[in-house]
Amino acid sequence: MKRLSNILFCLALILSVSAGAQVSFEEGEIVYHVALTTADNYTIKGIYVFSIKNRQIRKELTMDNGYKDITLINAARGTLYSLQERDGHKYAIQLDMENDLLKKQTRFKGLIVTKEEPCAHPLAGQKCYKGTVMYKDSTTTEIIYSKAWKPDVPSTWNRFPDAPFIPLMFSYKEENGVSMVFTAERIEAVPVHTSLFSIPQGYKMISNTEYLQLKR
């Protein structure tokens, strides 16, 4: 009887995989190439790395001009930090998860994807689809995405909260005329070291209010 149960379990697992069952991306790394274009058509390139583990997210943006931005999100604990360097000093700025992240994503919630069709070729080693994302205010953006995975934390991508996919290629334009294009290079479900999600030594923890005062 036990042997039969094991066989049935294995059969169910095989069938779920063969059916293309979607799974949460719980641990691994996603790397994007970034192209930032200013309002006067000057382009800067860079790399954007998402490291994910146990509902923790590290986003590290490194641009060719030396700009660097690191965000540490712990969805389980509800904490949010921005790692910044200023005048030779290193700061871990404690932000408010609700006001500085979740509320800013509100206008992007409730998105729907229209005009979906399969891509002719894989992207970042993934079978992909292209479509048009429409938001509640009727604004739209083009996107290429993978349906094999979905975010373990719904707020992982600022412009795609609660999305049942992993964005592979997308872009957006700010009000100041700056546009950014993100293209996935690779997605790997691999072990990620826990230390990546800790505040490194040498960083002083301060509030966002204190940091804004330093910038004056």
A 10 A CB-CB count for 145 gives 26
Confidence class for position 21, pLDDT limits 50, 70, 90: low
Give the whole-angstrom CA distance, residue 157 versus residue 74.
14
Give the whole-angstrom CA distance, residue 59 versus residue 51.
7
Give the whole-angstrom CA distance, residue 25 versus residue 172.
24
For the cut 50, the answer to whether the pLDDT of residue 33 exceeds it is yes
Q: Could you tell me the residue ranges of all domains in the chain?
A: 28-214
Per the CB < 8 A criterion, the answer to whether 80 and 71 are in contact is yes
| pLDDT given for residue 19 in this prediction | 40
Tell me the per-residue pLDDT of 90-120, one tens digit each, with 9 for 90 and over: 999 999 999 999 999 999 999 999 999 999 9
Per the CB < 8 A criterion, the answer to whether 25 and 150 are in contact is yes
Q: Does domain 28-214 have CATH number 3.30.70?
A: no
Q: Which residues pair with 159 in a beta bridge?
A: none
Q: Which residues pair with 25 in a beta bridge?
A: 151
Give the whole-angstrom CA distance, residue 209 versus residue 216.
11
The token duo for 23 is 């799974």
Sign of CA dihedral 134, 70, 33, 192: negative
pTM to 2 decimal places: 0.86
Give the whole-angstrom CA distance, residue 140 versus residue 136.
9
- Give the type of residue at 63: M
| pLDDT given for residue 214 in this prediction | 73
Confidence class for position 121, pLDDT limits 50, 70, 90: very high
- Give the type of residue at 110: G
For the cut 50, the answer to whether the pLDDT of residue 85 exceeds it is yes
Which of 21-25, 70-74, 133-137, 150-154 has the least mean pLDDT?
21-25
Per the CB < 8 A criterion, the answer to whether 204 and 158 are in contact is no
The token duo for 80 is 């949010």
Which of 20-29, 58-67, 127-136 has the least mean pLDDT?
20-29
